[in-house]
Amino acid sequence: MAPTPTSSPLQFVANVRLLLRQVDHTGAREPLTLARHVFECFIQQTKLISSRDNGPGVDTGDILCEGYLCRAAVLPHPAVDAWDWLDADLDWQGAAVRGEYQPPATGGVLPPSSTVQAPADGACWLGDLSLLQTPGVLPHAPRALFAAASLLMIGAAYGPGGIGALVQPELGEKLTFAIKPHRVYVLEAGDTLNSIAYRFGTTVPTLRRVNQDLQELQTIETAPGDTLTLLAGTYGTTVETLRKHNPELLRADGHTVVEGDTIATIAELYDTTNRTIRKYNPPLAEYPKR
């Protein structure tokens, strides 16, 4: 049966680069990240997840993919550079199998090494791998080339022994993962709602709508020259919301009219509109609308 066509920017068969987190306990409520794993894989799309197919690990709109691991690297955590996993010249640990994380020695003894296991969350670079640079940076490419991802299975269908021991070193470990174009994955502490919205091809109001915790009030830092319109755009809100939660912005001290003032110039001066000025100053309703 032919795979279900999708509207993804990813070609049906492609090479991708995955960034995955290795955690101490996958089932923990707040797992501790031990290391970051980078996979380069040869994959193909298998299906677009519908509302009938969604469930643990997959959401409606996700793109399910299957493929084989080509090479892997292990990076330290936390990262000095959030984009180090997109470095063109990583220190690849080996071909076809997952790299191993070696915990630091305690008491002069090295603990057993470990590796990433499914399920694991991370990010996926879908663009042309030849665009990657050294040192790693986010390539200047369409936003749709970057997405969140979840590793669902790895090592199947061969398993750790039997034929798998003979075949996997040549073919690479088989993996199944979901590309999540509608899920945001924060990569660096300095990320802002604006940068995240741009990276994922969405808007700040949309991020706030689907992430209820982002609806909470936050402290807004201002600088000389800032206007309410500029601040509203930067923080993904509206001038009306800023005024609602900051009563001092309503300018209760009023405005002294000077010669040449018009309702339009006053509205521009105070980052408001003609309609708002007329609403709070009934006598102005008689003046021409200009």
Q: Give residue 19's pLDDT.
A: 92
pLDDT for residue 195 is more than 90:
no
Measure the CA dihedral 128/134/135/138, to 10°.
Answer: -20
pLDDT at 286: 64
Positive/negative CA dihedral, 29, 149, 93, 189: negative
Separation in Å, CA 250 to CA 74, 244, 281: 54, 9, 13
User: Is pLDDT at 38 greater than 80 in this prediction?
Assistant: yes
pLDDT at 25: 82
- Looking at per-residue pLDDT, the higher value among 266 and 187 belongs to 266
Query: What is d(CA 234, CA 227) in angstroms, rounded to the nearest whole number?
Result: 11
Mean pLDDT of the region 93-104: 84
Any idea which of 111-115, 176-180, 251-255, 256-260 has the lowest mean pLDDT?
Answer: 251-255
pLDDT at position 60? 84
pLDDT confidence of residue 1: 37
What pLDDT is stored for residue 251 in this prediction? Answer: 59
pTM: 0.62
Q: How far apart are CA 160 and CA 174, in angstroms?
A: 12
Percent above pLDDT 90 for the chain = 6
Distance between CA atoms of residues 130 and 128, nearest Å: 5
Report pLDDT digits (tens) over 43-90.
Answer: 888 888 888 877 777 888 888 898 888 889 999 888 878 888 989 888
Residues forming beta bridges with residue 23, ordered by sequence position: 33
139-192 tens-digit pLDDT: 776 665 778 899 998 874 444 444 444 444 455 788 888 988 777 666 666 667
